[in-house]
Amino acid sequence: MQVEVTGKVQGVGFRQATVRQATRLSVDGWVRNQGDGSVSALLCGESEAVEAMVSWLRQGPDSARVEGVTVSACAWQDIAGFVQL
């Protein structure tokens, strides 16, 4: 799944917390800041784990203020691990 998170999500440790949570849930993919102040993520893995990750992204870490989450399907990508770009 491709996910875009908007709100106060840059400069608050959002990407680092996302990497930790994805690793806990065994979700593969990446997370990166976007030029418009949002954060994008690619999530690959078991459907239950990916759904749990999307639920977590709707809240984010305590320091963030998530205002919106857009989820869209994407082609499966064989990615090992979860990284911050």
Q: What residues are labeled active site?
A: 15, 33
β-pairing verdict for 39-44 and 65-72: unpaired
Distance of CA 59 to the CA centre of its chain: 11
- Record the tokens describing residue 81, joined without a space: 């691990």
Distance of alpha carbon 48 from alpha carbon 51, whole angstroms: 5
